Amino acid sequence: MYVRANKWEKANQLIIHYLPESQYRTIQVQEAQKFEAEGHFKEAEKMYLSAGEPDLAINMYKKAKMFDHMIRLVMKFRADLLKDTHHHLA
């Protein structure tokens, strides 16, 4: 009900409370992929990060050629790969 109404925070609270973590992560990633396909990258990023999948958010921005957002996430979640990421983009 909350998902259909685009009330992600409420849906997220219920999902976390009532589902096992593996199911929760699966649902979050599926919803993030839907947002990504629709071009709603900020919402997709939130969903990927709440599912504990920053690499999927980084790859999403890479595919979309939104490198500033990609670098922002690499700096935050994969700082050890920042230099390699800059080399790759160059």
Please give the model's pTM, rounded to 2 decimal places: 0.82
Q: What is the pLDDT of residues 23-43, one digit of tens each?
A: 888 988 998 999 999 999 999
Looking at the chain, list the stretches that DSSP marks H as alpha helix, in order from N- to C-terminal side.
8-18, 21-37, 41-50, 54-63, 67-77, 82-89
Query: Token pair for residue 41?
Result: 């990258």
pLDDT value of residue 20: 80
> What's the mean pLDDT in 47-60?
94
> What's the mean pLDDT in 61-66?
97
pLDDT value of residue 15: 75
pLDDT value of residue 5: 75
For residue 66, is pLDDT > 80? yes
For the chain, the average pLDDT equals 90
> Angle between the 21-37 and 8-18 helix axes, to the nearest 10 degrees?
160
Are the C-beta atoms of 28 and 21 separated by less than 8 Å? no
For residue 19, is pLDDT > 90? no
